[in-house]
Structure 1
Amino acid sequence: MDGVTITHTNQGDHGTYYAHVEGSRFIGRLEWTQKDNVRVIEHTVVPPEIGGRGVAGVLLDRVIVDAREQGFKIGPKCSYAAHKFAQHPEWADLVG
């Protein structure tokens, strides 16, 4: 998605992906906790001011890429992530 920059903080046992939308002061975020080799997606939050643009999908896509590159599994706990994982059987190998 053009105009969105993703940044990430990793505190070891938890972290957050941030979606910075060009021209907006509002930031979407995806929060996770670490349990063994599984990043559990706890919350995906997109403010209404930047909603409807695919921001949550961009955040989740970044987690998918990182999981494939870094070798961790994903626990899709939040309702958005669980719904998207149900729609994408090609991600089944990442579920931990």
Structure 2
Amino acid sequence: MMLDSAYVDVTNNRDQNRFELRLSGDLVGIIGYFDMGDTPVQGHPVISFMHTVIVEDFGHRGLAAVLVSRALELAREYGWKVKPVCTYVQRFLAGSRDYRDVVVQLPRPAGSR
């Protein structure tokens, strides 16, 4: 991974409902999210992490994990509960216990598995 000399920053672009990962100032990844609005859990807003995208030229460098980790940390700071819709976020969370307090599993509809 060649990130040693690059500056990595993750910010919340509220206008576009996404977290943005910038590498030395260049936008190279996003996590799009959706505010579920009327489904608070224990008084916390529920935000669905919908999709994670890393620019192809920057793939396979661990940037998606950096982006997801920081987005979850920011969600915690904001008092959000996160519903992981994105399969990458789901896999990331399956391998980590660090964010269990942030993640919410909403009840599944009757008859679903």
Relative to the length of structure 2, the TM-score reads: 0.71
User: In terms of Rg, which structure is larger?
Assistant: 2
Alignment of 1:7-46 (within 5 A): 7-11=11-15, 15-22=17-24, 25=26, 27-36=28-37, 37-46=45-54
Q: Which residue of 1 aligns with 2:59?
A: 51
CA RMSD of aligned residues (A): 2.0
SS of the counterpart of 2:99?
Answer: helix
Superposed CA offset, 1:14-60 (max 9, x none): 6111111228x552111000113111110000122011222111211
Q: Is the 8 A contact 2:10 2:71 kept in 1?
A: no
SS of the counterpart of 1:65?
Answer: helix
Q: Is the 8 A contact 1:41 1:74 kept in 2?
A: yes
The CA distance in 1 between the partners of 2:61 and 2:27, in whole Å, is 13
Change (3 A) 1:3 1:92: same
Identical amino acids, percent of aligned pairs: 28
The CA distance in 2 between the partners of 1:8 and 1:90, in whole Å, is 20
**Letter of the aligned partner of 1:29 in structure 2?**
I
Unaligned runs of 5+ in 2: 38-44, 105-113
Q: Larger strand proportion, structure 1 or 2? A: 1
Unaligned runs of 5+ in 1: none
